[in-house]
Amino acid sequence: MCGIAGFCSKKVNSNQVICNMNDRMRHRGPDAGSSFFDENTGVTFGHRRLSILDLTSSGLQPMTSHCGRFVIVYNGEIYNSGYIKQKLLEEKLVDGFKGTSDTEILLEAIASYGMKEALKMAKGMFALAIYDKQDKTISISRDRVGEKPLYYGHLNGDFAFASDIDVLRAYPDWNPEIDTLALERYLRYSYIPTPMSIYKGIYKLKPGTIMHFSYPYLEGIEEVYYDVASEYIVGIKNPFKGSFKEATEELNRVLGEAIKSQRIADVPLGAFLSGGIDSSVIVALMQSVNGTPVKTFTIGFEDDNYDESKAAQDIANHLGTEHTCLKITENELKRVVPKIADIFTEPMADSSQIPTYLVSKLAKSKVTVSLSGDAGDELFGGYNTYWKIAELYNKIQPIPNALKRFAANMGKNSRDNTFYRISNSLLSKDIANLHEAVCYDTSRMVPSHIEQKLLIGNSGSIMDEMMLRDLMSYHPDDILVKVDRAGMAVSLENRVPMLDKDVLKLAFSLPIEFKVTYMNGKVISKRILKEVLYKYVPKEIMDRPKKGFSVPLQKWLSSGEIHDMAWDILADSRLVRDGLISGEMVKGLQNTFMSKGINKNLLWNVIVLEQWYRKYHG
CB 106 within 8 A of CB 94: no
What would the pLDDT profile of 488-528 be if each residue is shown by its tens digit? 999 999 999 999 999 999 999 999 999 999 888 899 999 99
- One domain, residues 402 and 439: yes
Evaluate if residue 303 carries a pLDDT over 80.
Answer: no
User: What is the residue type of 483?
Assistant: V
Helix axes 417-426, 401-411, angle to 10 degrees: 160
For residue 25, give the nearest of 110, 196, 146, 150 by alpha carbon.
150
| pLDDT tens digits, one per residue of 146-165 | 999 999 999 999 999 999 99
pLDDT at 123 over 90: yes
From residue 515, give the alpha-carbon distance in Å to each of 518, 540, 614. 10, 20, 44
CA distances from 424 to 420, 433, 440, 443, 447 (A): 6, 8, 11, 11, 11
- Burial of 57 from C-beta contacts in 10 A (0-12 / 13-18 / 19+): exposed
Whether residue 601 sits in one domain with residue 500: no
In terms of domains, do 520 and 404 share one? yes
Q: Residue 74 CA to chain centroid, in angstroms?
A: 18
Q: What is the pLDDT of residues 526-576, one digit of tens each?
A: 999 999 999 999 999 988 777 667 789 999 999 999 999 999 999 999 999
pLDDT on residue 537: 96
Instruction: Please tell me the predicted confidence (pLDDT) of residue 31.
Output: 82
- pLDDT given at position 343: 96
> Which one, of 494, 470, 473, 486, lies nearest residue 367 by Cα?
494
Of 450 and 240, more confident: 240
- Model confidence at 222, in pLDDT bands (50, 70, 90)? very high
- CB-based contact 145:480 (threshold 8 Å): yes
Share of the chain above pLDDT 70, in %: 95
pLDDT given at position 214: 97
The residues annotated as belonging to the active site are 2
Domain range for 600 is 553-617
147 plus 234 within the same structural domain? no
Please count the structural domains in the chain: 3
| Final residue before a domain boundary, out of 499, 518, 549 | 549
Query: Does residue 399 share a domain with residue 354?
Result: yes
* Identity at 296, one-letter amino acid code: T
User: Is residue 524 classed as helix, strand or coil in its secondary structure?
Assistant: strand
Phi/psi for 53 (5° steps) reads: -120, 140
Which of 233-237, 420-424, 580-584 is predicted with the least confidence, judged by mean pLDDT?
420-424
Residues 252 and 584: their CA atoms lie apart, in Å, by: 54
Calpha distance 294→317 (Å, rounded): 12
In this structure, are 352 and 445 located in the same domain? yes
At residue 412 the predicted structure's pLDDT band, cuts being 50, 70 and 90, is low
- pLDDT value of position 265: 78
CATH of the domain at 505: 3.40.50.620
Say if residue 257 is in the same domain as residue 208. no
pLDDT at position 126 is 97
Strands 493-495 and 369-371: parallel
Q: Is the pLDDT of residue 198 over 70?
A: yes
Last-in-domain residue among 549, 569, 604: 549
Query: Alpha helices of 14-163 — where are they, by DSSP H?
Result: 14-24, 81-90, 102-113, 115-121
Distance CA 484, CA 372 (A): 11
CATH value at residue 193: 3.60.20.10
42 plus 90 within the same structural domain: yes
Contact 49, 56 (CB under 8 A): no
Contact 380, 529 (CB under 8 A): yes
Same domain, 169 and 221: yes
Q: Compute the mean pLDDT over every residue in the chain, rounded to the nearest whole number.
A: 92
Residue where a domain terminates, one of 178, 205, 226: 226
Tell whether 509 and 579 lie within a shared domain.
no
Same domain, 482 and 352: yes
Write the pLDDT tens digit of every residue in 366-409: 999 999 999 999 999 999 999 999 999 999 988 888 888 887 77
**Best-predicted range by mean pLDDT among 112-126, 260-274, 441-455, 586-600?**
112-126
Q: What is the pLDDT of residue 54?
A: 54
Separation of alpha carbons 72 and 93, rounded Å:
18
Give backbone dihedrals phi and psi of 49, rounded to 5 degrees, phi first: -110, 130
Q: Are residues 97 and 28 in the same domain?
A: yes
Of 141, 144, 60, 50, nearest to 104 by C-alpha is 60
Lowest mean pLDDT across 182-196, 425-439, 448-462: 448-462
The pTM of the full predicted model, rounded to 2 decimals, is: 0.95
